[in-house]
Amino acid sequence: MPALETLRSFVNTWECDENDHLNVQFYFAKFEEADRQFRFMTGFSEAQAGPRRVRHVRYHGEMFVGSLVEITSHAAFDGPYMLSIVHVMRDRSTGRIAATALDGYAPSDRAIKDIRKRLDNVIEEMPAVAAPRSFEAVPASLDAKDAELRAANAQLITRATVLPRDCVLDGNADDRFVLACLTDGAPHLWESAGMTRPWLDKNDYGRVALEMKLTRGMPIKAGTVLHVLSGITSVGDKTFTFRHHVFESASQRLIAVMDVTAIIMDLENRKAVKLSEDARNGLRSHMLG
């Protein structure tokens, strides 16, 4: 059976960032809405499958102001998780794949038969284009401690409070809010690693994510005060990876982890730039120990 069309949308000016393309928080917001529609159409819920363990997003092409957004969604049982819900975002004008989201679940053996029956009409093979590339499929550990991370060279990049306007139908903050905290804070990590705003402007460069893996634990309710500790985890010729740790500040409990693969992009030709030795050294100075 074909995948369900779960979203038709549009890229608005206010959803785009300094690179003149759709900001990652709004990719996540559109995937969130597609997932809500998928659940409505199929009756699928976390009551059957347990909580989502991971949302793994890969960015395959840029979406610009005025782009028509289309998302299709299906279930896969041959992916890296016991159950995967796969969302594929396309530019509807061209059919080009812009991004994919892979939602991973680990339902009980007793539940999996009923879930297969419920989703029978929307089961397809796991597409290679949505498979994890930079990171392992398994969820990140949520056992790290604030003090341990600070001692291991992690940097404080964000403090935020969850407001009622940040919460969705279940009363909790969704992925878009988490991404907003991280994308607003990440430039502070880049800046301290030497990739400063003046340097970017001088060279007409932009900071761009290629892949993200979000692992979430407890729900994030209105009134929760958060802080984020981040650090570099690997450095290559063109790409580098970093990890954000989102803490509930009152309890010091780690409630989410985001792994990111990023590049510096030449904004004129829209291609990745090879990192200079100075840039690599700056990044290495913020490696998590």
Whose structure tokens read 């341990």? 148
Average pLDDT, the chain: 95
pLDDT tens profile 155-194: 999 999 999 999 988 889 999 999 999 999 999 999 988 8
Phi first, then psi, for residue 232 (nearest 5°) are -75, 140
pLDDT tens per residue, range 36-72: 999 999 999 999 999 999 999 999 999 999 999 999 9
At 154, is the secondary structure helix, strand, or coil? coil
SS3 sequence, 221-288? ECCCEEEEEEEEEEECCCEEEEEEEEEECCCCEEEEEEEEEEEEEECCCCEECCCCHHHHHHHHCCEC
pLDDT in tens, 262-272: 999 999 999 99
In one letter, which amino acid is 154? A
In the chain, the percentage of residues whose pLDDT exceeds 70 is 100
